[in-house]
Structures are given as structure tokens and as C-alpha cells.
Amino acid sequence: MIVFDLQCTGGQHRFEGWFASSADYARQQERGLVTCPMCGSGEVIKAVMAPAVGRKGNQAPALPVPSPADAAPAAAAPAKSSPPAKLPPEALAMLRAVALAQAEAIKSSTWVGDSFADDARAMHYGDKDAAPIHGQATAQEARELLDEGIAVAPLLIPVVPPGEAN
């Protein structure tokens, strides 16, 4: 994993982004998947960041190393693991309702994969029969569809494409 400090091109929002690799960041950026979590802008760049530099092997550690006699294991209190924060019942009910509505919509929809923008455009202009579809589009493609008056909306809950599920 690699972490980058990112910011909107206007510079008003700064945030961290975690990626599998530098190449993964580049692929996601190219597809328009890297967006500002505060304002939703797709105009995001890497911010200047200080590198995390470890100490040299010949430098003394910041804290003294205990001698083996001092390092005898003491009875430690069991670790307290804090449970994840629970959503309020109303929020949980809304999330379930959205998930059910999306699942129902997808049942009567056809997965078109990366050709989503082309298929939506062809249906809008009458080159293809209109039908409910879902698939993948870059942020740029989605903006272009909206600019052309083609109604599109993101799926609120991520979907695993058919054939890619374990």
C-alpha cells in the first residue's frame, strides 16, 4: 500500500489517498475515479508531502532499549478492542432501503461494463432500443452524458460485475 497527500486543484481541500501502488493511483486518476471527498471535484492532484524517512542503522534509538532482565514479560491486561461505531437505527434502515431498491433495479437491468457511456448515448439518440442498463463510466464520461442531457446516476452501493465474483 502507498499513501499520497492529495488536494483539489483549487487547493481548498487536502486529504489522504491510499492505493495498492503508484501505478494503481495513475490508473484510477486516468479513469476519473480519484475525487475530493469534501466537494466531489475530480480535479485532484498529488500535494507536496514530506517523505517518511526511517532512521539510519547506526543511529541510536530515540528511547533506551530495555535490558533482557527488564524485558521480562509482565502480566498484561487484556487488550480492549473498541467495537465499530454503530449507525443509528434510522440510518441503518435507510441504508437497507437503498440497498434493496438498488438490488431490485439491477435485477431488471443489463450489465454493459465499460461500454456504459456508449450504450446510454446510443439509446438516448435512438440508435439502440431503450432499456435499463448499468455498467462503468469514468467521471469525465458521466459529465459528458449529463451535459448532453442524458440522465445517469451512480450506484450508491458498489456492485461486483458479473463474472468477477469469487
For residues 125 and 149, the answer to whether their CB atoms sit within 8 Å is: no
**Higher-confidence position of 70 and 144:** 144
pLDDT digits (tens, 9 = 90+) for 24-72: 888 888 888 888 888 888 888 888 776 666 666 666 666 665 555 555 5
User: Residue 16: left if φ>0, alpha if ψ -120 to 50, beta else—which one?
Assistant: beta
Task: Say what the pLDDT of residue 61 is.
Answer: 60
Task: Check residue 5 and give its pLDDT.
Answer: 87
β strands within the chain, DSSP E: 2-8, 14-19, 44-46, 110-113, 133-135
Structure-block grid coordinates of residue 45 = 492532484
Grid coordinates in use for 14?
A: 487536502
Mean pLDDT of the chain: 81
CB 153 within 8 A of CB 98: no
pTM: 0.47
DSSP secondary structure of 104-160: HHHHTSEEEETTHHHHHHHHHTTSS----EEE---HHHHHHHHHTT------SS--P
> pLDDT tens, 81-109?
556 667 788 988 898 898 899 889 889 99
